[in-house]
Structure formats: C-alpha cells, structure tokens
Amino acid sequence: MRTSAPITRDLLLIGGGHAHALLLKMWGMTPLPGVRLTLVNPDPTAPYTGMLPGFVAGHYERDEVEIDLVRLARFAGARLILGHVDGLDLKAGRASIEGRPDIAFDIASLDIGIASGQPLTVEGETALWRAKPMSRFAQGWQTHLDQVAAGSRPATAAVIGGGVGGVELAMAMHHRLRRLSSETRVTLIEASDQILPLAPPSLRRTLVRKLNDLNIDLRLGSKVDRVEGSCARLVNGQTVEAAFFASVAGALPAPWLEQTGLSLKDGFVRVDQTLRSISHDTLFAVGDCAHMDFSPRPKAGVFAVRQAPVLFANLQAALSGGRLRPFHPQGDYLKLISLGAKAAVAEKWGISVSLPGLWAWKDQIDKRFLDRLSPPSTPMERLTSSGPVALGVMALEQAQPLCGGCGSKVGPDVLNAALCDLEAPRRADIVRGRGDDAAVLSMGTEQQVLTCDHFRAFTLDPYVLAQITANHALGDIWAMGAEPQAALASLILTAMSEAKQTETVREIMAGLQSVISAAGADLVGGHTSLGAELTVGLTLTGLMNGRAAIGLGGAKVGDRLILTKPIGVGTLMAAEMRGLAKGDWVAAALCQMIQSSGPASQILLSQAHAMTDVTGFGLAGHLHAMLEQSDLSGQISLEAVPWCDGAIHLAKDGVHSSIYPQTSSLAGRMSVDEALRLDPRFALLFDPQTSGGMLAAVPADQVEGLLAQMAEQGQSAWVIGSVSDATVGHRLTVTA
C-alpha cells in the first residue's frame, strides 16, 4: 500500500535564513504531497542574528542563538545538503554545489543573507573577522576570549562600521572583555561623521552617551583603508591597534549571483510583490539577499520573518498551479537595541526610550522566536491497527520502529540461528564462507573476496547515502586485506515520476562512483526496482594479489587492539530520526561515515594478526567474534574507547538504535563490574556502526610505529585494549 504521493516536483531552498527556517516549520505541519523538498546550507545550524550581541557579551551560549536546521529538515521531511551553492542554471533548472554533482529543481528560493564588511585590503595574517556569516565569527571571538583569559593576547577589540549592528557589537565586546581584564580597550570606527546616520536623533544621542559612558573610543569620519595583522590603517593616516577586528560595515551580496542572469539591484535579487524574481518565474528570494522593487526596505531580519508565511503560500501555489498572493511590508518596526550589559533601548516612529526591563523584553521576544523554530520530537511511524489483530502484533507496534543503516539489520542471534543449518561449502574454490567479513574464492593462483551489503535510507540525501553505503561495503574488502576490484549496485527507489527517477539514480550512482573509483575499483552495473523506501546496496569483489586473507581469526596473546573511528553513530542516527540529536552532532557523524577506512586499513595490514570492520553488531559484538574465532580473550577500557560527539549524552537519556535489544544480549556473557553496566558508555559498546572503523589486533611492539604512520597520513587511531589467553574465563572483559 502506498503511504505517500509519488514525487513529481523538486523544491530547492538555498540558504538557511530566517524565512526558510520558518518555512520548514510550516512545511512540516502542512506539506504539499508530491514535492521533494531540499535545503542546501553550508552548516547544520543557522545563527539567529538578533541574539548575536547577547552571545558576544556572554549572556547566551552559542547553541542558544542557533537554529538547528537538521531537526527542522527532519520535521519537514526535507533532505538537507550541507554545502555551498555556487551557481544556478535557471533555464535548465539546476544548481551547482561545491564538491558534489549539481541537483535539479522545478522551483527554487534564495535566503542566503549577506556578508558584512566593506571591501578592505587585508595583508598577511590578520585579526579581521566579518560578523556575517556568524559561524566563523563566533569561532574567532571564542578563540580571542580564550587567549585573553590565558593572558596571551590583550583585551582589545575594534569594530568597523557604526550602524546599529556595529554599536551593539562594540558595547557587547566591551562588556565581555571587561569581565576578563581591567585593561579593556574597544574602538568603534565609522566612515561618516556620525554613528547611525539614518537613525532618529534621539536614538543617536542615547547611543553616543552610552558609548562615552563605557569609554569606547569612537573614531568618526574614519574610513579603513587596510588591515595589517593587528593594525588598521585609516585613510586619514591614523592607525587603530586591536587584537580582534570585527567588520559590520556595508552589506555584500553573494558574488556568484552576478553569473546567474537574474535581474539584480546592487547585486541583490530583484523581486516583485509575490517575492518572485522579476526576471525568472522559477526563482523566489527573501531576506537580505532580496531587493523588493515594489517597496525597498533596509536590510533587517524582521522583514524576512514577515515574508515567511507569504513565501510558504506562494511556493506551494507555484508547485500546485495555484494563485500567488502579495507581500505587504510594514512601514516601520520596533527596534530593541542591546547595550552590552543586560540593558536595551527601544525605538519606533522616531521615539527612543531606555527603561529598566527592556532587555528582559527583548530576551523574551528573541527566545519566543527561537521556540517557534524548535520542532517537536518527530513521532516515529507506527502501524495503526484497528480491530482484532494476531497475537504479538501489539508488542511489535509498541517497540521502537526500525532505524536506518546498520540499525535496521537483523540481530546477531537471529542471523546465527538462521545460518546454523547452512551447508558447508562443497566447491573446492570456496576457501572461506560463513563467519568472516567476506567470502574468499580461489581463482587458480589468485584469491578473490566477495561481499554484499545494503541500507534502508537513514538520510534523505541520495548522494551522501550512496557514499556511506560504498564506504561501509568496502570495509569488508579492506578488513580482509584485499584490494577493491568491481562493484554492482542494487537500488530500490520510491514512487516518483520518470524524470525524478533519473535524477535520483544519477545522484546515487555519482555518490557510489566517487567512493568506488577512489578505492581503485570499477562500478560496472547493477539492478533497480521500485519499493516502499529508498534502499541502496552493493555487491563487491576484491583481489588478494598473492597475500593471504586476514579475517577475524589469528589474534595472538599480547596483541593490542587498535580502533580507527569513534563509536556511537547508530545512537546518533536513531536520535536524529526522532528529532533529539543536535545538528552539529549529526553533521559530524555523517562526515565520519563518509570517511574512507582504506588508508587506515592499508597501514594496519602490514602488522595485523586479525582485523575486522566494526559495523552492525557493535564494537563488543565484532570484538567478541574476533576473540571467539581466535580462541582467546580480551580486555577493553571504556576510557580508552573514542566516542562520537553527543553519543554519551544521548545514551544517558536512554536513546538506542532499534537493534540494541539484540546486540546487547551479549552483555550477559561479558565480565564487567556491575556499576559499569549502568555507565552509558557501556551501552554504546553494542551500538551498531554504519561505515565504522577498523578493529585490528597488532603486536604490542608495533603499536608505536603504526600510530606514528597513521598520524603522518592524517588517520585517527586509538589503542582500546589487549588480547590475553583464553583461560581467563569470559571472552571479553570491560574496565573503566
């Protein structure tokens, strides 16, 4: 039975600005059937710029002022591509994305904001940071604070640009630095002869008075010519010394827009009253990157927020053949300007006031806005049985629904029970069969390894899913010590038009090809079918080239256990499906899964007595299998095992992959202190790893050299335990 409409249209959101973030929330509540929604943004989070001064002043932590696009995308049913759009072919309906194949769209919307800062000559290593985009600025500011606190840099800063943003930033910097040093010095540099040249005089007077009260050095009529290291040289010949420069002067549009053929005003996309480009009816634009031809307005986030409902309605109308509605911007709006400490000034209709409680009001408004962008935890799909059901159905309905990736695999006990009656290989050319990472086949004087794997989708990005699937499947080849040879793909697509099938297969094959070709193998074909959910699989072969296959058995007493990737991706993906994982955690986990284990395996291959890739049965399951086949015991330390960011936090909250009840059945056969069984890290030992790292048993006297080689080639590795004699009792002992 079909549970969703077939995909016939692609909607592309470029940029995670305020309007697009609100649109994702609205789309999740009222999606348009038949539309595949895609968001492209460089980062998994987007800053809420209204709280930037509060962050700089130290009133908020960074994650308190960021919009989690990963959670919003999951709620909206959108695929999130972490990347930079650097070009549009509006005639063909294609967007180019740095580092990956372009993608197709029927309708696109731009909400990419602006960069702050006037064109400056920057010479050598400089302390200049542009306030937008905020992600890099926030990292630079935190580094500066850390160095000031350590005494390695002076508590000085300068802000280039005396608009509202620059004034707020200067006072926020002064407030934060003053808490670290009594020798704080902040300078505000403005090219015109007054700050806020377009603001009402009453507001300007209030802010100048506050700047003077804080002893902030105000340089008016001072245009910056260039920045050299920690020195800004002004056009008038003066200089300003500061250990940190923040530039908020001017508004710079994305330069690649000039190459799109769009009608622009000073580099910004000209839109009509429906927020659609006046030159191309397949593109809409909102926020600071748009110029409203019908009613020009200053660059301010309040307009993007008000545009969101109209944009949502018009995008759905454009995709379904409906009628577009106009946007009516307000004439004036309330401005609440923070004053460094927890104080603020308000201005509207030319009247400005500074009263106790204004900062608390601003704080409440800002937090209420972010609350609007915090989707509820995504409900997991469940069966909706009514009336009589077969015995056991309700128990399965109440269980956690299946995860994707390795979390969707059958448990080890079920698999072993199903395979126990499998006949031993009868052919003489089958050297190894069931029980190892891959089958080993004899081909005359050569040996070939053969493996297969497939995933139900855990990400809506087909390209990334394909890359991870390829790296995961190649892990079996590398674990045996073989060189990848050839690959066949098996794809299941969901219902969609033929044009969308073509695009989806193209993205999948490009993702597979990028990994398989880099591994030295060829993608030679495959098979496709339609089904209920996207699934990507591979069959792979590899050649031993005269070497003997390593396999699971062969570990020796005294060997050290080396692991090459952190543990916890199964828990993170399970949490992401439920809207519980932070976007930064998810982005880091996806990057880890895309990372190839080929280079690490090649280094370990020279010394490993036994090796396997850590995948669906978790670290404990795969290590136990290695020890069992080697007829030895082993010990690992929870302190020595590397963990993915966020995994311990989620495990502590009881978040596990759906296969956890099966993989954790091994816990009863392990030697571990009872107190450690309650440690969330112990639960993560049974976490299924998608595209996990290599686990190798290597001679103790070779560990130092192997780790040095790994470091030289940029590969991570951790020594997590050792191998001992089988007479110890339990196969596996876990210590703190």
Q: Which of 222, 9, 251 is nearest to 108 (CA)?
A: 9
Average pLDDT in the chain: 89
pLDDT at 728 over 90: no
CA distance 29 to 666: 42
Residues 78-97 have a mean pLDDT of: 96
Residues 573-584 have a mean pLDDT of: 92
Kindly indicate the confidence band of residue 1, based on its pLDDT and cuts at 50, 70 and 90.
very low
pLDDT at 429 over 90: no
Residues 679-703 have a mean pLDDT of: 96
pLDDT more than 90, % of the chain? 70
**What local confidence, expressed as pLDDT, does residue 380 receive?**
46
Mode of pairing for the β-strands spanning 224-228 and 121-123? parallel
Kindly indicate the confidence band of residue 412, based on its pLDDT and cuts at 50, 70 and 90.
low
- State how far Cα 286 lies from the chain centre: 24
The encoded tokens of residue 502 equal 């073509």
Q: Which residues pair with 276 in a beta bridge?
A: 284
Kindly indicate the confidence band of residue 3, based on its pLDDT and cuts at 50, 70 and 90.
very low
Output 45 or 402, whichever has higher pLDDT.
45
Q: Which residues pair with 25 in a beta bridge?
A: none
Summarize pLDDT for 599-652 with one digit per residue, the tens.
999 999 999 999 999 998 999 999 999 999 999 999 999 999 999 999 999 999
Residue ranges per domain, the chain? 9-113+254-338+351-372, 116-252, 437-550, 551-736
Q: Over 253-297, what HEC string results?
A: CCHHHHHCCCCEECCEEEECCCCEECCCCCEEECHHHEEECCCCC
pTM: 0.89
CA distance 664 to 583: 27
CA angle 119, 258, 298 (to 5 degrees): 60
Output 426 or 644, whichever has higher pLDDT.
644
Domain 116-252: give its CATH code.
Answer: 3.50.50.60
Domain 9-113+254-338+351-372: give its CATH code.
Answer: 3.50.50.60
Summarize pLDDT for 235-287 with one digit per residue, the tens.
999 999 999 999 887 678 899 999 999 999 999 999 999 999 999 999 999 99
Residues 707-715 have a mean pLDDT of: 96
Q: Which CATH class is domain 551-736?
A: alpha beta
pLDDT at 379 over 70: no
Residues 136-145 have a mean pLDDT of: 90
Residue 231 falls in the annotated catalytic set: no
CA distance 473 to 613: 10
Kindly indicate the confidence band of residue 333, based on its pLDDT and cuts at 50, 70 and 90.
confident
**What local confidence, expressed as pLDDT, does residue 518 receive?**
96
**What local confidence, expressed as pLDDT, does residue 135 receive?**
75
Summarize pLDDT for 437-448 with one digit per residue, the tens.
578 888 877 889
Domain 437-550 has CATH 1.10.287.180: no
Q: Which of 83, 156, 163 is nearest to 131 (CA)?
A: 163
Summarize pLDDT for 449-467 with one digit per residue, the tens.
999 998 889 999 999 999 9
Q: CB within 8 A of 511, min separation 6: which ones?
A: 462, 463, 464, 465, 466, 467, 470
Length of the chain: 736
For 87-142, the DSSP string reads EEETTTTEEEETTEEEEE-SEEEE----EE----EEESS--EEESSSHHHHHHHHH
**What local confidence, expressed as pLDDT, does residue 19 receive?**
95
CA distance 355 to 644: 46
Catalytic position from the list 289, 406, 420, 591: 406
Domain 9-113+254-338+351-372 and domain 116-252, same fold? Reply is: yes
End-to-end alpha carbon distance in the chain: 50
Long-range contacts of 698-702 (CB under 8 A, 24+ apart): 698/559, 698/560, 698/562, 698/604, 698/607, 698/608, 698/609, 699/556, 699/558, 699/559, 699/560, 699/607, 699/609, 700/558, 700/559, 700/560, 702/607
Residues 294-302 have a mean pLDDT of: 81
Q: Which residues of 169-179 are buried (b: 16+ CB within 10 A; e: fewer)?
A: bbbbbbbbbbe
**What local confidence, expressed as pLDDT, does residue 692 receive?**
96
